[in-house]
Amino acid sequence: MKTFYITSILLLCHLIGSAQTEIDALRFSRIYPYGSARSTAMGGAFGALGGDISSLSVNPGGIGVFRKSEISFTSMLDFNKVESGIFERSKNRYLIGSLGFVASFTTGNKKWKSINFGFNYINLNNFNRDGVLGGHISENSSLIDVWKMEADGHKRADLDPFTTSLAYDAYLLKKNPNNETMYDIPLVDGDKLEQKEYIRNRGYQGEYALSIGTNYNDKLYLGATLGIQSIHYRSHSIYAEGFPKGTETTSKLNYFNFHQIFNTEGVGVNFKTGVIYRPTPLLRLGFAIHTPTIYRLDAHALNNVSAFYFEAPDETAKGTEFGNEAYTDYSYKLRTPWRFIASAATVLGQRAIISFDYEYVDYTNAKFYNVGDGNDYDGYMLDKDTYVLGTNDMIKETYRSTHNFRVGGEYRFSSIFSLRGGYSYWASPYKTTDLNGKNDLQTVSGGFGLNFSYFYIDASYMHKWDKENKYFYNYQNSSMPQPLTSPEVQSNLKNNEFRITLGIRI
């Protein structure tokens, strides 16, 4: 007999009940380790070059290239803008791009020339983002319709405390007088509602890299890094539906808000190893492997539904404003994907550098684990014919492997002054059939460097852009031939970053 699959997706929500979604797995797995101003100016293509503090988190073999001890610090100004339809919001922040040192020791051995130790902090991800999404008129459905479908067939005591139960407390769901497991809603056929979402995200994802490397005969550079990553992420969103001004309706409902606050933070560990080989003075080849990062994270979440009426929604109700909230905290584990990086670079006459990185990441390998808090991220058989997809199933259903590219160049006009440029392409992690199948992220960058032998200054500018498509809700179960979805919403991210690195060689 055919097995049916049930998917119940609210892309609007970070939280269904009290578990993570596949969106959270991607958010913490898709990283951008640019780091120093020099690396950023060259598009992050440093896998075969080394000799830059950022290489500790990309190709640890790069630590073997250092000939002197070095301390560096990178400041970063981030200008982030989100555009969606007629709405535009900006958020500007000062951040630390990287901070670290490398200690280089000569061995006295003619072949194994040096052993180097390094420590660096690098900003891998910046979550700061403000936006207003949507603003369209939905003629066919509402989030209330989704809540009704989820609630039907369940008694009041069995409603989800984070969604349908809150909707019930706000009189958006009301028991049908003829059936206590069926629900009525305060909308009538033909009602047209304006849908918006206000978002305010904050936080960052960083890595503390402890590295060791060596130089064999100025041809082979080996290195290894223990990466300790930290996540601090806070999301504040308000989804709103209401009747536009001048709309005629017989509904008593004016508008409602679905308010969500989600906060997660924790620590993860990974291991990286890499090699750089110089077969000729003109050519350098690099290869690196990053193990998955295993995170232990703590989460706090609050959902609130509030509804506002033109008049009392029920003969038993007093007033026109109703709402309630639900709070939870829990812990979970996340495993991010493996990463493989292959690189090549050429150095032409000590004047010009051209560098290229290729990175392979399979996002279907991300996985959530529970830690005894009752959350289950795997699917299960509802009955002998029906399988309910879990979050880990949705990761495999939604994502794919990607091929990412970075290319950069540098030209030294003198021993003091250099110009740099770069480009990077991060392929969409979504399957090509998905709504975000073309969610590619691209950057263009440039900068310059001033080298005063024992002291240097690097500066860079990077422009980053991508677009995201989403539904506020997308609900389907085995009895529905077609999913119930909101109109499609598109947002465009435009990001500008300025970095300055100050370094001292000892």
Structure tokens at 399: 């994502």
Question: 24, 22, 114, 111: which is closest to 63 by C-alpha?
Answer: 114
* pLDDT mean by block of 10 residues, the chain; 506 residues: 45 52 93 94 95 95 96 96 90 94 94 96 94 89 93 94 96 93 91 94 96 96 98 96 84 94 97 97 96 96 95 88 94 96 93 97 95 79 78 93 97 96 96 85 97 95 93 82 88 95 96
The identity of residue 42, as a single letter, is: M
Question: 289, 323, 284, 318: which is closest to 303 by C-alpha?
Answer: 323
3-state SS assignment for residue 248: coil
Question: 101, 102, 33: which is closest to 64 by C-alpha?
Answer: 102
Contact residues for 389 (Cβ-Cβ < 8 A; gap 6+):
5, 6, 7, 379, 397
Residue 249: what pLDDT? 81
Q: Which domains does the chain have, with CATH numbers?
A: 4-157+192-248+261-297+334-505 (2.40.160.60)
Task: Answer for the pair 458, 412: CB distance below 8 angstroms, yes or no.
Answer: no
State the residue for tokens 């304006």.
194
Task: Answer for the pair 408, 41: CB distance below 8 angstroms, yes or no.
Answer: yes
**In this structure, what are the phi and psi dihedrals at residue 127, rounded to the nearest 5 degrees?**
-95, 5
Whole-structure pTM value: 0.91
Structure tokens at 34: 């640019």
Question: 29, 124, 97, 16: which is closest to 377 by C-alpha?
Answer: 16
Number of H helices, E strands in the chain: 5, 25
State the residue for tokens 């002197």.
68
165-174 in b/e burial notation, b at 16+ Cβ within 10 A? bbbbbbbbbe
What gap in Å lies between CA 252 and CA 250, rounded to an integer? 7
